[in-house]
Structure 1
Amino acid sequence: MFVRRLTTIAAGAAAAVLLTSTAASAHFCYFSNPNPNGDAGRAGSQGFVSFGVIAAAEGFCPAGAQVLADAVGVTTSTLINAHGVMAGPTGGNKAISHLDFAALEAAIPAALAACE
């Protein structure tokens, strides 16, 4: 029991560091209200990855990924620009948003619990 709890805590700490450290270089931007045709094109590109794929790459199960997505106000299918920075929202442009890493970090314990 203690080893499993320690493993869960270590995994959560590693995920928090990894998810927040990569944010400094990419900001993890996404389109707030995407055009379906635009999303279809972005889905086939190398620059965009769905939130669910990113969460799975960090070791979260689908239920945990959903907890994280809910916490930051996206869906697991929201396409995230994980390779660069998009402009906005400046001058009233609300089309581009950035993941809320404070909310994401706060949701990690619940996401890990959902994966147990």
Structure 2
Amino acid sequence: MDVSTYYTELITLWEEHKNYVELPVCTYGRCECDATNLWEKLQQRSRVTKFLMGLNESCEQSRRHIFMLKPIPTIEEAFNIVTRDERQRAIRPSTKVDSVAFQAMTTPPDATLAAL
């Protein structure tokens, strides 16, 4: 499954889940603890973590990069970083050098003749 499909499915599930979860409400009279906003921030961080941990191994570098960011980005920002990195990997050609060819390129000509 590609990253866009995975992201879309997660967002759809989370939006549906929101319909069934009661947000915490502070029961103290004139409390200004802002429990609902704190709960939403916690849920946002949890969603970013779940999104990143569900990615396949090809996204490991993006995952590590995002986990090191402070503050942790939103789910949308994390998705954008991952898809940007995915596009760059697709564009950048894989440059694997054959070890024998590499050795031949780095061996000085005199050493090659002396080996004969």
TM-score by shorter chain over 0.5: no
**TM-score in terms of structure 2 length:** 0.30
Looking at secondary structure, tell me which structure has more helix per residue: 2
Q: Which has the higher contact order (CA 8 A, sep 6+)?
A: 1
**TM-score in terms of structure 1 length:** 0.30
Looking at secondary structure, tell me which structure has more strand per residue: 1
